[in-house]
Structure 1
Amino acid sequence: MTSSVLVLVGSLRSGSTNRQIAHTALELAPEGLELRLYDGLADIPFYNEDIDVEGSVPAAATAFREAVAAADAVLVITPEHNGTIPAVLKNAIDWSSRPFGSSPISAKPVAVVGAAFGQYGGVWSHDEARKALGIAGANVLDDIRMSVPGSMTRFVDVHPREDVEVTTQLRAVLADLQRVLSAPADSSEDAAA
């Protein structure tokens, strides 16, 4: 059985390291794990409850919600902007968190990884993204982590796919994600036992 994973990149820059890591993840995806890169985050307007009403929801927001709903899991690959989560990613989380009580991100397994220029590889951003996703109702996979430091110097002449440490970590992230998705769901009878 194949599981589908929607990949969100927290950087809009076409040559960003995190976008390169996302493409590398697509190349490294094991059999049975289908990754799909979502390229429409820049098209989604800032979240505004005034336009989030039936008949007025922007088409880009609807398309995004449908993509999240259709995926079995979400993999967020993001840098750090000024010590925190990029605005485009926060906006995506806000749109995916509504409608309250039946949002597409609700209970959806989500992992957050990425790279940043700083010495900690975007840990602050990754932690903030996990926090926001958890509050939005996602099933945040806290144990799946990868934070690559020094991205602006480390990848000047090397693509992340050529970095053995990065590809090894990325393979582990994908294997862990696949393991979560293939684990049998607890039945209410098992939980009661």
Structure 2
Amino acid sequence: MDDIHILIIPGSLRSDSLNATLAAFASRQAHVLGLKTTLMDLRRLRLPIYDGDLEASTGVPKEALQLQQAIAGCDAVLVVTPEYNGFPTPLVINAFDWLSRITATESQAPGLSTTANKPVALMSASPGPGGALRSMNFLRQYLQMAFQMIVVPQQFALGRAHEAFDEAGELKDARSVQSVKTVLTAVAALAGALRAARQAEQH
């Protein structure tokens, strides 16, 4: 698909995380579709909980710039997150909160300009029947309203996720596999269209 690059961000990376498993599966399916992917480990950023006093005293952590650079370097983003009490994980929200605090300098753009008009897709997994659908609904609103990202309508919530994968981490249900491909195809198509529009403006 014209060498589209998708940044995949799992919202949980604990041992045996179902969402990390789904993110890895989505990455493999993306390669089948001819897409490039990068899996990002938000835990490695070791970002502190956002605190205005901390920001005032020490500034935005340099690790937040790594997230900004990763988003700037991709054509689209895929967030795969469980729900904690119906909401997206603090790991995801805190990382994006810090991203929003990055201000412009001579060498870097502000954080919010990096996310503006960036295509993003959502997936989730849960042992429950709803597949963490509630977290996706909140995350859709959060990314659209606060970060001006373009969230594609297609999304995938994997219910009974603890029973959904085989020992190799592959989804056993053909409909679920197709749902993953549908989300990936949709976000890649949007990213490709936006890239083509930008190129047309330059000529």
TM-score category (smaller protein): 0.7 to 0.9
Stretch of structure 1 that moved more, 92-101 or 137-146: 92-101
Does the alignment pair 1:144 with 2:175? no
When the two structures are aligned, how many residues end up with a matched partner? 188
Distance in 1, Cα, partners of 2:57 & 2:6: 27
Does the alignment pair 1:23 with 2:24? yes
5+ residue gaps, structure 2, are 105-109
1:98-117 maps to which residues of 2 (within 5 A)?
A: 98-99=101-102, 102-103=110-111, 104-117=114-127
Amino acid at match of 1:126: M
Amino acid at match of 1:164: A
What displacement does 1:84 show? 1.3
What displacement does 1:99 show? 3.2
Contact 1:97 1:106 survives alignment (8 Å): no
Q: Deviation digits for residues 39-88 of structure 1, max 9, x if unmatched?
A: 13352222234444797432322212211221211100111111111111
Aligned-pair Cα RMSD in Å: 2.6
Contact 1:130 1:140 survives alignment (8 Å): no
5+ residue gaps, structure 1, are 189-193
Contact 2:7 2:77 survives alignment (8 Å): yes
Question: Which residue in the other structure is 1:129 paired with?
Answer: 139
1:22-171 maps to which residues of 2 (within 5 A)?
A: 22-29=23-30, 30-42=32-44, 43-52=46-55, 56-99=59-102, 102-103=110-111, 104-155=114-165, 159-171=169-181
Q: Which runs of 4+ in 1 moved over 6 A?
A: none
What displacement does 1:119 show? 1.7
Contact 1:20 1:159 survives alignment (8 Å): yes
Identity, % of aligned positions: 30
Q: Secondary structure at the match of 1:111?
A: strand
The alpha-carbon distance between structure 1 residues 36 and 73, as it changes in their structure 2 partners (threshold 3 A), is: same
**Superposition TM-score, scaled by structure 2 size:** 0.80
Higher helix residue share: 2
The alpha-carbon distance between structure 1 residues 156 and 4, as it changes in their structure 2 partners (threshold 3 A), is: closer
Amino acid at match of 2:172: E
Q: Deviation digits for residues 130-168 of structure 1, max 9, x if unmatched?
A: 111112223232412101112234448673433322211
**Superposition TM-score, scaled by structure 1 size:** 0.83
The alpha-carbon distance between structure 1 residues 6 and 49, as it changes in their structure 2 partners (threshold 3 A), is: farther
